Chain A
């Protein structure tokens, strides 16, 4: 298993200023550039520490939010391409349905692939509902736009005979002929984040890596949809390197210490989706059927476009009145959103979770979240890197005998 260290780079000093919103509407007067510059500096220190310890590194992208100072995945990864030497670099990812120019995405990613000597992995993602207003991308028909952008990017990377033309429904280009080409041929590994079985099937068609973010145990059905589709296409049973999962990870010297640290991280689950309802459910983001179900629940019923996470203690936590309870930490652990405890416990939890998923090859480790100090993060990364990572790297594919039974079961479901 590969482990990808990741921080959203939260700007926690602004958490709690507006108890209804961390996203879209929170004025940036609550951002202090001097403090922000220091946060970036410390974040890159911890990325380099993780590189030294044998982690791979992940970046993402969000806009207009105090939950994430990574406003451009390209900027973060181009810096890491120059400052690291070993780690593979994952963008998870480029919100390509929100970007007006997919060819530019293809160029930027090709540059970073060259600058890193072929260490880049490129996630193409749909993005959260909150992003739409911030970047003025139309939430309706996003999925169609996503796949057209995907097709254009893949073609831009793999076309080498001079300019090609693109007159699509959403994107138009006369002369596509990117320089540089990707370092890795024909393309860097491509990832797509997935939340539904139907998307998983489409990603399986492409053979890309799929990842679920904080999807908990229900991720299994998503992964199985990918496996079933792969078999349906007459291809070999997909190996674990096709599957990634993002969770919070908190390691301490003892179980108690690991759980205590997790209380600092739990606010990530409690508050990071806090925003006015209309930004959580922009028109067309969720299917009509899901919105009908939400209307039946009435004005107070929410539309679950995301896995419902969190302890419900969010507002008190945001106001800095208290940290989440141990009980809410344990609830998150039960849901598979958080692995926490001593190195041995965390290793066991991850191994068991992977087994429950039918085998995952990539752990996307949110090793920094919520109210952790940078020292906490460094300690977390060191403990994990020294005492958990070596064993995970050696983790065999999920037991062959078990796998045979599961393959047979899946095959029975394939038409």
Chain B
């Protein structure tokens, strides 16, 4: 971690990648073991410092989910499974193996859906504040209703420090001065696409939890101690459904620990990725 935050943010390059006819933007940086970062539902924040820090721990690939960027959502994409298969295709196309997947919020839901389908190309899984499963009873929501809350309420629920909601490509800024049209388009399209994939059942797949046992790679579930959008106890349930998954809490962070505590986040992730996958869990050859 030799770079400053500013330097690390500037170190990424971006290109378009076409996967079976679906084109999206791919941010890349660093070298070594591939790290696939799957971004939160509000969209990728290309200027966020944690990306550069991840790029100094390996070869970072941070794609924009189809429908969450400048390009239109593929018309045939409408379920979380479409995104999971898209990323399985992407890993095949790039012929990546022993990939460490790091994912946040809605990206964590995609990562879990991907991993229950196949971990063949994966090495480790880090889920930071993932959504996607149902734990409480039918009259309680595990995930605050992002579509029914105002900006101020969301900031209160999602951030330990409200100031962190006002920087970079945050969707909850008071004003969006200085952001490019492309960045604004990505924010607006992300909000729409989040509804496409997560409106109902709200931000989860009722069937996902029962298949999490299939995840047979070392998994870390990370939670912000101050996350009131999805409570830490939801994270504990998430981790409990994945064999031998670790659960860790980051202090002074809300729903986006990667945004609020980038250095601590990168450090925890890097330490976890050091673990040899063969030393954990089932007998899959590594």
Contact of A278 among B150, B175, B193, B194 (CB under 8 A): B150
Name the residue of chain A whose CB is nearest to the CB of B70. A288
Contact of B185 among A140, A292, A298 (CB under 8 A): A292
**Which of A157-165, A279-287, A362-370 forms part of the interface with chain B?**
A279-287
Task: Kindly state the separation between the CA atoms of A283 and B194 in the bound complex, as whole angstroms.
Answer: 8
Interface size on A, residues (CB 8 A): 20
- Min CB distance B205 to A, Å, is 15
Q: Which B residues are CB-close (under 8 A) to A298?
A: 174-177
Interface string of B100-112 (1 = CB under 8 A from A): 0000000000000
Interface check A296, CB cutoff 8 A? yes
Contact of B148 among A279, A284, A288 (CB under 8 A): A279
Task: Kindly state the separation between the CA atoms of A10 and B200 in the bound complex, as whole angstroms.
Answer: 30
Task: Kindly state the separation between the CA atoms of A291 and B191 in the bound complex, as whole angstroms.
Answer: 10
B174–A295 touching, CB < 8 Å: no
Interface check A95, CB cutoff 8 A? no
Interface size on B, residues (CB 8 A): 25
8 Å CB interface, B127-178 against A: 147-151, 173-177
Q: Which B residues are CB-close (under 8 A) to A284?
A: 191-192, 195-196
Task: Kindly state the separation between the CA atoms of A141 and B188 in the bound complex, as whole angstroms.
Answer: 15
Q: Which B residues are CB-close (under 8 A) to A276?
A: 150
- Min CB distance B265 to A, Å, is 27
Task: Kindly state the separation between the CA atoms of A175 and B279 in the bound complex, as whole angstroms.
Answer: 56
Contact of B196 among A141, A277, A296 (CB under 8 A): A141
A292–B188 touching, CB < 8 Å: yes
A292–B200 touching, CB < 8 Å: no
Task: Kindly state the separation between the CA atoms of A141 and B199 in the bound complex, as whole angstroms.
Answer: 12
Task: Kindly state the separation between the CA atoms of A299 and B192 in the bound complex, as whole angstroms.
Answer: 17
Contact of A299 among B174, B188, B200 (CB under 8 A): B174
Name the residue of chain B whose CB is nearest to the CB of A169. B78
B195–A138 touching, CB < 8 Å: yes
Interface string of A108-134 (1 = CB under 8 A from B): 000000000000000000000000010
Task: Kindly state the separation between the CA atoms of A284 and B67 in the bound complex, as whole angstroms.
Answer: 12
- Min CB distance A364 to B, Å, is 31
Interface check A136, CB cutoff 8 A? yes
Interface check A216, CB cutoff 8 A? no
A296–B149 touching, CB < 8 Å: no
- Min CB distance B120 to A, Å, is 31
Interface check A139, CB cutoff 8 A? yes
CB-CB under 8 A for A296 and B184, given A138-B200, A282-B147, A288-B189: yes
A288–B185 touching, CB < 8 Å: yes
Contact of A292 among B148, B150, B181 (CB under 8 A): B181
Interface check B187, CB cutoff 8 A? yes
Name the residue of chain A whose CB is nearest to the CB of B75. A144
Interface string of B195-224 (1 = CB under 8 A from A): 110011000000000000000000000000
Name the residue of chain A whose CB is nearest to the CB of B152. A299
Q: Which B residues are CB-close (under 8 A) to A133?
A: 147-148
- Min CB distance A78 to B, Å, is 29
Task: Kindly state the separation between the CA atoms of A282 and B181 in the bound complex, as whole angstroms.
Answer: 21
CB-CB under 8 A for A140 and B192, given A292-B184, A299-B151: yes
Task: Kindly state the separation between the CA atoms of A295 and B150 in the bound complex, as whole angstroms.
Answer: 15
A139–B199 touching, CB < 8 Å: yes
- Min CB distance B191 to A, Å, is 5
Name the residue of chain A whose CB is nearest to the CB of B192. A284
Q: Which B residues are CB-close (under 8 A) to A296?
A: 176, 184
- Min CB distance B39 to A, Å, is 17
Q: Which B residues are CB-close (under 8 A) to A277?
A: 150
Name the residue of chain A whose CB is nearest to the CB of B190. A283
Q: Which A residues are CB-close (under 8 A) to B187?
A: 295
The interface centre, meaning the residue of B181, B184, B188, B193 with most chain A CB atoms within 10 A of its CB, is: B188
CB-CB under 8 A for A278 and B176, given A139-B199, A140-B199, A291-B191: no
Task: Kindly state the separation between the CA atoms of A295 and B176 in the bound complex, as whole angstroms.
Answer: 7
B200–A140 touching, CB < 8 Å: no
- Min CB distance A372 to B, Å, is 33
A288–B192 touching, CB < 8 Å: yes
Task: Kindly state the separation between the CA atoms of A282 and B196 in the bound complex, as whole angstroms.
Answer: 12
Task: Kindly state the separation between the CA atoms of A295 and B172 in the bound complex, as whole angstroms.
Answer: 10
- Min CB distance A15 to B, Å, is 21
A283–B175 touching, CB < 8 Å: no
- Min CB distance A220 to B, Å, is 30
- Min CB distance A390 to B, Å, is 49
A278–B195 touching, CB < 8 Å: no
Q: Which A residues are CB-close (under 8 A) to B78?
A: 141
The interface centre, meaning the residue of A133, A138, A279, A283 with most chain B CB atoms within 10 A of its CB, is: A283
Contact of B188 among A136, A138, A139, A295 (CB under 8 A): A295
Task: Kindly state the separation between the CA atoms of A276 and B199 in the bound complex, as whole angstroms.
Answer: 18
The interface centre, meaning the residue of B151, B173, B184, B192 with most chain A CB atoms within 10 A of its CB, is: B192
Q: Which B residues are CB-close (under 8 A) to A283?
A: 147, 191-192, 194-195, 199
A299–B191 touching, CB < 8 Å: no
B199–A138 touching, CB < 8 Å: yes
Task: Kindly state the separation between the CA atoms of A141 and B189 in the bound complex, as whole angstroms.
Answer: 12
Subset of 10 A-B contacts with CB under 8 Å = A138-B200, A140-B195, A278-B147, A282-B147, A283-B191, A291-B191, A292-B184, A292-B188, A295-B187, A299-B174
Q: Which residues of A contact B (CB under 8 A)?
A: 133, 136, 138-141, 276-279, 282-284, 288, 291-292, 295-296, 298-299
Beyond A139-B199, A141-B196, A278-B149, 14 additional contacts (C-beta under 8 Å) are A138-B195, A138-B196, A139-B195, A140-B192, A140-B195, A141-B78, A276-B150, A283-B194, A292-B185, A296-B184, A298-B175, A298-B177, A299-B173, A299-B175
Q: Which 9 A-B pairs rank lowest in CB-CB distance, beginning with the nearest?
A: A291-B188, A283-B195, A298-B175, A284-B192, A138-B199, A140-B195, A140-B196, A283-B191, A292-B184
